[in-house]
Structure 1
Amino acid sequence: MRIDAYNAVSQVYQANATSNVKGVGKVASANDKFEISDVAKTYATAKSAVASAPDVREDKIADIKARIAAGTYQVSASDVADKIINTVSTLTF
């Protein structure tokens, strides 16, 4: 039996053992500051404005519903085709 190899392996494991280290770490000083950039403030303002805006424009929907009910709502086939072409052209495959 080779005791030498056992001692070498034991030394490797002892070398990799962790030890408790005290006093490591930084303490925030009185000079530390936290600042938010103007761009971040503007972004936050825009984000809250979008979040508070309604998802549906009720006034526009009511107008279209009234025009459909009255029979005066007309959609141009050319306008529909243009919208379809523009939508398809932005898709990526």
Structure 2
Amino acid sequence: MRIDAYNQVNMVYATAGKTQLKKTAKTSTTEDKLEISQLGRDYQVAKAAVAQADDVREDRVAAVKEHYASGKYNVSANKLAAKLIEKYNTIVF
């Protein structure tokens, strides 16, 4: 039987009760603040303008519908591939 271990445990309990908490003075409250940079504001304006713009060009849609209905609608695979690559290059590079 180890008596020293028991004494050490008693010492821990004895010192635990003597711990005193010191109260600190209240610090002044601060408010959170958010500032948006000029670039961020420009981005918001551009985003709002894009949201208000028409996404569908009605004249082009009407022309395609007319060609499709008459059976004259033909898509060139080479032309389509060239446009896709061109669009990809402008987005990526």
Length-normalised TM-score, structure 1: 0.52
Does 1:23 find its partner at 2:26? yes
Question: Structure 1 67/11 Cα, relative in aligned 2: closer, same or farther at 3 Å?
Answer: farther
Question: What corresponds to 2:50 in structure 1?
Answer: 50
Instruction: Return 5+ residue gaps in structure 2 as ranges.
Output: none
Percent identical residues:
31
1:4 aligns with 2:30: no
Q: Deviations over 1:23-79 (max 9, x none)?
A: 124446xxxx86543212211101111222344333322221112223333321211
> In 2, distance between residues paired with 1:83 and 1:14?
80
Residue type of the alignment partner of 1:79: K
Report which of the two structures shows the higher radius of gyration computed on alpha carbons.
2
Q: Distance in 1 between matches of 2:36 and 2:25?
A: 34
Describe how 1:49-88 pairs up with structure 2 within 5 A.
49-82=49-82, 86=85
User: In 1, distance between residues paired with 2:83 and 2:17?
Assistant: 70
Shift of residue 20 of structure 1? Answer: 5.5
TM-score by length of 2: 0.52
Change (3 A) 1:27 1:78: closer
